[in-house]
Structure 1
Amino acid sequence: MRRMDVFEAMATRRSVRGFLPDPVPRAAIVSILEIAARAPSGSNVQPWKVRVTEGDEKARLSAALHAAHDAGTVTPRDYQYYPRHWREPYLSRRRKVGWDLYALAGVAKGDHAAGHAQRARNFDFFGAPVGLVFTIDRDLEQGSWLDYGMFLQSVMLAARGFGLDTCPQAAFCDHHDVLRAHLGIPAEEAVVCGMALGRADPGEPANRLATERAPLSDFVRFGPEA
């Protein structure tokens, strides 16, 4: 199998929202997590913990998550992911990617039932054969959460090296009580996110989403300000 170089992996990484059912070999999952664990962390703390779910176990978990989603029962998240008060330019970026995705998925503005159904697809891991759930000990501080982000990116890039795709999913945090019950996650661990892992379905309309990136002039300064 041809392995991508790091530049190609970074350029082709995207959040995939439709996967083929093709199984991912256990050896590939192990290799991805082993290489991702080389991510840096302050004082080599290595704050990441991962649960891998596949097959019947994943199907049972998905069924329970769907039931919670349909019932509208949301558990307060272990941490605040988004800003409490949105402002520009972040609000416009959020709205654009949301409406671009919904347009591809066929969800019309104001169609709450279709929006509910589209969000529910998170809980099937978008059809991916492998689900990953990431947790961190609650007593670790912000620096360890920064380290965790580098680990998550490393997982996604390593997956690209195997020709696989991923979707990091904060949606699971709304039902972390369900995750705890099915995956044996103790109370002293906070749920960071989930992630779908597999091969992208080329026939999935949502996979045509191409997210924009701000130009360097928006966020980079060279040298002192004039």
Structure 2
Amino acid sequence: MSLPAALRADTADAADAAVPWVDDPFGRAVRAGRGPLWLRRADGSRLPLEVERWCAPAAGADLGLLARCRGLSAPVLDLGCGPGRLVAELLATGVPALGVDVCAASVDRTTGLGGLALHRSVFDRLPAEGRWGAVLLADGNLGIGGDPAALLARSAGLLAPGGLLLVETAPEEVDEVADVRVEGLDGAGPPFPWARCGPAAALRHARTAGLAHREQWHSHGRSFLALTRP
């Protein structure tokens, strides 16, 4: 049975639709290991993306973040793992870890470092839901989906009872959602919603998601929270 013409057109449009972080300069930057790359807001302002740092070995504030993953009774899940430096460092120090990312170039780079990664959205079905010892939302990934409370609730559902959710926040106090595009010197991708939260806003969203506050710290100009699933 053939599809109606209107349905065929809708299906073709969906197939041709560009996907943020996939059909934009991000994947090319990850493969090259360098930027420059930005998130461009509709008003023309830009937020830099630290591609070179993400593609380099874990260092600086990364090490304090990952130290909090040692000694857990269950593995670590890195949501939006990017080029895989955190997953690779965890595995190198004997901590079982898995990355998840929608960008195939990120997954390829993670596995090229000897890490493990899945090519999926954080909102797709994932292995061992409700059994992870820690979940990471680093490098601005609290912005995924443009709804921090929903993302934190999703992350909480992945944790084992008493598990740790380690979240990097914006260093300044901000709570915003904006439509942005990934932009490089070779063009820009499609628009999508993205959020930025400072520590206070992230804690408000965490309470909405049923998470408890354990710790807050700053390191090398970056800001972090440790949250727990009661």
TM-score surpassing 0.5? no
| Higher RCO structure, 1 or 2 (CA under 8 Å, sep 6+) | 1
Which structure shows the higher helix fraction?
A: 1
